[in-house]
Every structure is written in C-alpha cells, then in structure tokens.
Amino acid sequence: MLAYALRRILLMVPTLFGIMLVSFIIVQFAPGGPVERVLAQIQGTDAGATGRFGGGAAGDAGQSHYRGAQGLDPAFIKELEQQFGFDKPAPERFAKMMLDYATFDFGRSYFRDIAVLDLIAEKLPVSISLGLWMMLISYAISIPLGIAKAVRDGERFDTWTSAIVIVGYAIPSFLFAILLIVLFAGGSFWQIFPLRGLTSDNWSELSLLAKVGDYFWHIALPVLSLTLGAFATTTLLTKNSFLEEIRKHYVLTARMKGLSERQVLYGHVFRNAMLIVVSGFPGAFISAFFTGSLLIETIFSLDGLGLLSFEAIVNRDYPVVFANLYIFALIGLVVNLISDLTYMWIDPRIDFETREV
C-alpha cells in the first residue's frame, strides 16, 4: 500500500501541473483582463464589455491591443501591464506562478489590498461551516436511512421515504433556500432565522453558550438547503448498494450459519456495500466547499470561498482565481487518495500493492 500511495503522490505533480497549464492557456484567450478592467473604470464603461483581443484602439493608444485605451498615455498602459505582470511573456509568467505556488506563495489580490492566502483564510470559516455540517448531517441521515430502505425494500416505509427522497432530489438547493427564506426568514410568514451573516453583530459580547447558539441559529437555513440534495443522492446510493450486496450468495450462506440479521448486515454486507458510498466522497467534499455553496452563499449573504471565486472570475482577479483553482485541485487529489486508501480499512481484501495506477 505504501508503494501505491507513493506513486499516487508523485502523479499529483504532473496532474496538478496539467490542470493549471490548461486553465492558464484558457485565460490567455479569454476576453477581458485586469488591465481592461482598470481602463474601463477610467473611461467609465462596463468592465465586462471590454476585451483584450478585440482589435486596436484609436488615438494616442493606436498601437495598443486594449479596448478602452483611447486618449490614454501609452506609458500609463505599459505601467499597468508591469503592475499586473503582463510585461513578461506568458510562459515566463506561468513558470513563475507555478514556482511560487509550490511554496504556497499566492501573491496579492489585484483589486483588494490583501494577500491571497489571507483572503482565502478570511473566507474559509464560512465554507467550512457549510461544507462540513452539510456532509456530516447528510451522511448521518442518509446512510442509516438507505440501509433501512434496503432492508424494507418494497414495504410502505420504503415507498413513503422514496417519495420524500425523490422530491428532495428534484428540488434545486437554491429554490429550497428561497422557500425557507419566504417561510422562516421574514419573507411573507415568520421571522425566526436571520437572513445574512454567519454570526450576529454582537457575537463577541455573547457568552460561550450564547455564541454556539447564535452560530447554529445563523447556519440552520443554509445548511438545511445544502443538505437536501446531498441527502437524497446518498440515500439512494446507499440503498441500491446494500440491495445489490444483500442478494449475493455469501449473505445467504451467513444466514444459514445462524447469524442474526444485524450480524449479517453490519458484519458482512456493510463493508462491501459502503465502498461505492466512500468512492463518492471526494466529489461530495469538493462540491460542498465550492460548487454546491455558491448560490447558497449568495442567497444568504454569506461571504465564503464560493462567492469569492465567482467574484474573482467576474473581476478578472487572476491571483485569486488561480489560487482557488490550485488549492481545490490539490485538495481534490489528496482526498481522492485518502478515499482509495480508506477502501482497505473497509475491506482488507483490497490490495493496493498489485493495483495499477
């Protein structure tokens, strides 16, 4: 297993390099950029309407490839390019970026006077709160429920819970979030939960117990919104996996030996059936921290990593964009490795030493 883990760790380097290289190349051909955004602000135009490769500008900046550069001193344009590092060739910029990222030096945000790592650390508590609580609650409910549905397959319990699960799967989390706001956050009915923020303004003045209560009071609706879709998916996955294992011959043999249903279920079926659930953990983990929380963070005014990444892309804040991509890609690769190694803990029959990477 050690040799397999070492090979996987070594493969992370070219994989991460390839992800960053493809993303960097795409950005080079994407319209707009930090220089264009500054020029658009100076000219009083929309930054989203500017484009780097959209033709030359007239006037004093006639030799410039930037739109919105009319009437501006070419020396000022050159100064902007130097400030953002665009005075150097793209290969040199990429090489410097990767060397810096290897030591976790992500530079500073273009448009916020703060180091990118400090900015990410500032937004991380929100994403951790949403992601971890969503995963803990969804797995704590969906795995036992999926097992119960598999054991009672076709019974009334299975039918009614399937209806609830299907409805939960069909409703997007952001629509459910809007419904919760309308019902419980002062929309049209009750004002029970707060609408924005992770804590109250007077949080520092509260006692320890009051701080804990205030924290859970604020995250209740966002976490509930995120949990709905994940809960449904994991429940069905668990049920189908257990049903497949329950119908195999080794389960019948265990029952014939006189083992109780609980011993059969958790002593033999569980470790085999949970493999497919564990394999879906990395995707759920990454989704919980970024893709799944973007709309929820926006709806509930929670300033987390999902919202930060989206705003960085819109504003062409490339250090923040690439730092988030690098960190999430690295986390994804590490979690995938941990997920594979967890298979051995669940089922010792799996041998990673003989498995091809």
Q: What is the DSSP string of 298-339?
A: HHTT---HHHHHHHHHHTT-HHHHHHHHHHHHHHHHHHHHHH
CA-to-CA distance for 46 and 84, rounded, in angstroms?
20
- What average pLDDT is seen over the chain? 79
pLDDT score, position 322: 92
Q: Is 164 inside a domain boundary?
A: yes
Which of 73-77, 124-128, 139-143, 281-285 is the least confident region? 281-285
Q: Is 284 inside a domain boundary?
A: yes
Segment of 10-19, 68-77, 78-87, 307-316 carrying the highest mean pLDDT: 10-19
Distance between start and end Cα atoms, the chain: 12
Q: Is 269 inside a domain boundary?
A: yes
Residue 145: which domain range? 120-313
Q: Please give the single-letter amino acid code of residue 309.
A: S
pLDDT score, position 77: 72
pLDDT score, position 15: 93
> Above 80 in pLDDT, residue 237?
yes
Q: Please give the single-letter amino acid code of residue 27.
A: V
CATH number of residue 127's parent domain: 1.10.3720.10
Q: Is 190 inside a domain boundary?
A: yes
Give pLDDT tens digits for 179-226. Answer: 888 888 876 678 888 877 788 888 888 888 988 898 888 888 888 888
pLDDT score, position 57: 36
Maximal C-alpha separation, the chain: 91
Q: Which of 63, 61, 30 is nearest to 43 (CA)?
A: 61
Confirm if 287 and 296 have CB atoms less than 8 A apart.
Answer: no
Segment of 14-18, 219-223, 260-264, 271-275 carrying the highest mean pLDDT: 14-18
- Residue 308: pLDDT band with limits 50, 70, 90: confident
> Above 80 in pLDDT, residue 159?
yes
pLDDT score, position 54: 35
Q: Is 125 inside a domain boundary?
A: yes
Give pLDDT tens digits for 339-348. Answer: 777 766 666 6
Tokens linked to 356:
């091809």
> Above 60 in pLDDT, residue 92?
yes
pLDDT score, position 20: 93
- Residue 69: pLDDT band with limits 50, 70, 90: low
> Above 70 in pLDDT, residue 176?
yes
Q: Is pTM beyond 0.95 here?
A: no
pLDDT > 70: what percent of the chain?
A: 80
pLDDT score, position 347: 63
pLDDT score, position 280: 66
- Residue 227: pLDDT band with limits 50, 70, 90: confident
Confirm if 235 and 145 have CB atoms less than 8 A apart.
Answer: yes
CA angle 120, 122, 123 (to 5 degrees): 65
Give pLDDT tens digits for 107-117. Answer: 888 888 889 99
Q: Is 327 inside a domain boundary?
A: no
pLDDT score, position 59: 37
pLDDT score, position 56: 36
Q: Is 149 inside a domain boundary?
A: yes
Which of 3-17, 74-88, 230-244 is the least confident region? 74-88
CA angle 140, 195, 304 (to 5 degrees): 65
Q: How many domains is the chain built from?
A: 1
> Above 60 in pLDDT, residue 55?
no
pLDDT score, position 63: 45
Q: Please give the single-letter amino acid code of residue 231.
A: F
Mean pLDDT of 80-103: 85
Confirm if 16 and 329 have CB atoms less than 8 A apart.
Answer: yes
> Above 60 in pLDDT, residue 327?
yes
Task: Say which residue, 308 or 48, is predicted with more confidence.
Answer: 308
272 contacts: CB under 8 Å, gap ≥ 6: 245, 347
71 contacts: CB under 8 Å, gap ≥ 6: 59, 60, 61
Q: Is 172 inside a domain boundary?
A: yes
